[in-house]
Structure formats: C-alpha cells, structure tokens
C-alpha cells in the first residue's frame, strides 16, 4: 500500500485513533475559522469586482466533481446567452507572468492540466493564477463578461464572491472530520451552513448532509460517461470497445476510484494503474501495459497526447442533475445574481 493510500485510509475509515489527533485538528480549525472571520468582518481587505463571481469549491482535498460541474454550469450559461469566464489556480502551471490569460497557443505545461482541459472543453475566456482576485480583474479588463466562475477558491477570501457552491463527494463525504493533515478537511464541516448551495456528487441521496445543510439548498449530481474518445485523433468510438478488448485503466487524479467505478459500468474487468494527482506522465509510465486498450481520464489524456499510442483513449464524462434540482439551482442563481424573480 502506498503512503498516499495509507493516509486516505486513515482519513476515510472509522477508527478511534482519530481522537488522538483531535486536539491538534481543533487548533488548525480555529485558525481557519479566524481567517474567514477577519475577511467577513472587513478586518482583512476583500477585492471586489464589477462582475459577479460564483465560487465552486470544496472543504475537503481530493476530487469532488468540480470540473464536470463547472462545464455543466458554463454550457447552461452559454445557452442563456450569458457571457461567462473562468478563473483557476492553474496548478503546476509555468507561465511567465500571473495572472495569465489562456490563449489557444498555450500548452498544458504553461497553464496546468486542469486549466488546459477546461479551457478547451468550455471554450470561454479563462485566467490562471494563485491570486484569484487578480485573475478576476484580468478577465474583467480583457473581456466583456456577465459572470465569472472560480474553479475552487472557496478559501480564497480576498476574492469577493456573490454565490458559493460547495461540492461534496457523496460517498466519502467528510471522512474523519479532522482538519489537514490529520483529516481531509480544509475548513470545518460547519462551513456547509454558510454557503449558498450544496451539490452532492454521487453517494446516498439521503446522506447525512441533509442535517448539516439545514436551510441550504441542496442538489444531487451524477457523473455519466458519454463516450470513449481516441486521444490522438480526438474521434469518438463506441463504448462497446471496452467489452470487446482487454483494458488497462490509468488514473492520476484526486479520486481514482470514481473513475474506475465509471469504467466498470462498461467493462467487466481491467488492469488498474494509479498515480498521484497531477502526475506528470512520461511515456515510460506505460511500458508495462500490454492490454489491447489503455483508458484514462480526460485530464490525464491532455498530458499524454504528445506520445499517445494508437490504442489509447479517454472517457468523456458529463455532470447531470435531475430537472427538479436543475430548476432549483438556476432559480437560486437567477434570483441572487441576475435579480430575476
């Protein structure tokens, strides 16, 4: 078992050992709560923008489904002729200056894997930079926009926001409910009560979150696999290829089990190979894979395109909400951001 697997097992498995670390976690929790308090009370400066900002983030580390949900939001705004932009940290980016406005000429090495994929998937203006407020300003100065979505950044309180959407993994939820590094939390679970909207990705539709988010609008989201895409040609092929061939599944994302679960719906058996999140893939990483087909996530695929083989594919996924949840979410957004009753 890898070191990362051991840590996650402690974070997400029940056990009495967590109480040994609870006092230390409490100190970190108090620090996190004070940080937010200083910004909310105006003690620390908050940078406002002329364009409303929606933050889509989480209070845990690891994948919660932010990326497909943001694509879902962007597509819906576009159908309503609402001009939208995105800001992101651009993890592992290497731009000369920040904030950096992404262009068609930028490579995945310059802007980072998630930002590169999101820019080419959504095809809307996007800026990357650790200073989210500056990234928002850069977008406002260079593009005419009606709304900006911040990919993550729930804890970046220097950036003013008009609407907060909290993403939660419905299966893992909040783990042992301890703060980093003793648990998966960036902020205490009580933070759920202060956001505008909660989106639960998968898991039990009657999760414990209902009590925690009393008075907060909540929707459940599912991730659907829409197609299998050839990495080199970007052409779609039938998902039946997964059943007709031997498969190697490769993942370097925050929650690889979610990817494997999606793959299992279309493939009865496959070889797994897991890397750390944001792994910088090399061609040699695949030397030991001898199956007919190699399948990975879209985020991993953008880093492998230069040396991809003819039998390499990625799973294209989409976020989906029920019509009731969809209407509830956009009623809340319309009323708070666009003054629509």
pLDDT at position 204: 67
CATH class of 39-222+320-337: alpha beta
pLDDT for the residue numbered 341: 57
Whether the domain at 39-222+320-337 and the domain at 224-319 fall into the same CATH topology: yes
Helix H or strand E encompassing 326: helix 323-337
Residue-level pLDDT at 311 = 96
Q: Which token pair is 178?
A: 């301890």
Q: What is the residue extent of each domain of the chain?
A: 39-222+320-337, 224-319
The whole-number pLDDT of residue 126 equals 98
pLDDT score recorded for residue 62: 84
Q: Is 63 annotated as ligand-binding? A: yes
pLDDT at 158: 97
Say if residue 66 carries a ligand binding annotation: yes
Give me the pLDDT at residue 277, please. Answer: 87
pLDDT per position as a tens digit, 254-307: 888 889 989 999 988 899 999 988 899 999 999 999 999 999 999 999 999 999
Q: Residue 67 annotated as binding?
A: yes
Assess contact for 67 and 221: CB atoms under 8 A. Answer: no
Largest CA distance in the chain: 61
- 15 among the known binding-site residues? no
User: Is position 195 annotated in a ligand binding site?
Assistant: no
Q: What is the CATH number of domain 224-319?
A: 3.40.50
* Residues of the chain scoring pLDDT < 50: none
Q: Give the contacts of 160 (CB within 8 A, at least 6 positions apart).
A: 46, 47, 48, 49, 53, 133
Among 266, 197, 226, 246, which residue's Cα sits nearest to residue 55?
197
């Amino acid at each position: 078992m890898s070191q990362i697997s051991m840590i996650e097992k402690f974070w997400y498995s029940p056990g009495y050992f967590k109480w040994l670390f609870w006092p230390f976690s409490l100190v970190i929790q108090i620090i996190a709560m004070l940080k937010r308090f200083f910004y909310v009370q105006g003690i620390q400066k908050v940078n406002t923008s002329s364009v409303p900002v929606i933050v889509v983030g989480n209070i845990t580390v690891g994948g919660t489904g932010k990326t497909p949900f943001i694509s879902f939001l962007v597509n819906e705004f576009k159908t309503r002729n609402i001009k939208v932009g995105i800001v992101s940290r651009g993890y592992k980016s290497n731009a000369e200056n920040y904030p950096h406005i992404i262009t068609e000429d930028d490579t995945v090495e310059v802007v980072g894997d998630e930002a590169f994929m999101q820019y080419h998937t959504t095809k809307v203006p996007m800026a990357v930079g650790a200073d989210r407020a500056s990234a928002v300003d850069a977008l406002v100065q260079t593009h005419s926009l009606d709304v900006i979505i911040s990919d993550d950044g729930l804890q970046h309180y220097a950036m003013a926001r008009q609407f907060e959407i909290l993403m939660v993994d419905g299966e893992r939820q909040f783990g042992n409910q301890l703060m980093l590094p003793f648990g998966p939390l960036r902020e205490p679970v009580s933070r759920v009560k202060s956001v505008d909207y909660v989106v639960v990705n998968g898991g039990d539709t009657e999760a414990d979150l209902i009590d925690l988010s009393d008075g907060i609008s909540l929707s459940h989201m599912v991730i659907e696999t829409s197609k299998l895409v050839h990495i080199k040609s970007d052409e779609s092929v039938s998902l039946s290829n997964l059943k007709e061939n031997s498969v190697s599944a490769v993942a370097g994302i925050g929650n690889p089990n979610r990817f494997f679960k999606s793959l299992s719906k279309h493939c009865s058996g496959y070889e797994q190979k897991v890397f750390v999140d944001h792994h910088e893939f090399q061609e040699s990483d695949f030397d030991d894979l001898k199956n007919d087909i190699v399948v990975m996530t879209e985020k991993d695929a953008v880093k492998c395109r230069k040396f991809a083989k003819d039998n390499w594919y990625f799973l294209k996924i989409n976020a989906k909400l029920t019509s009731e949840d969809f209407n509830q979410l956009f009623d809340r957004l319309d009323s708070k951001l666009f003054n629509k009753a």
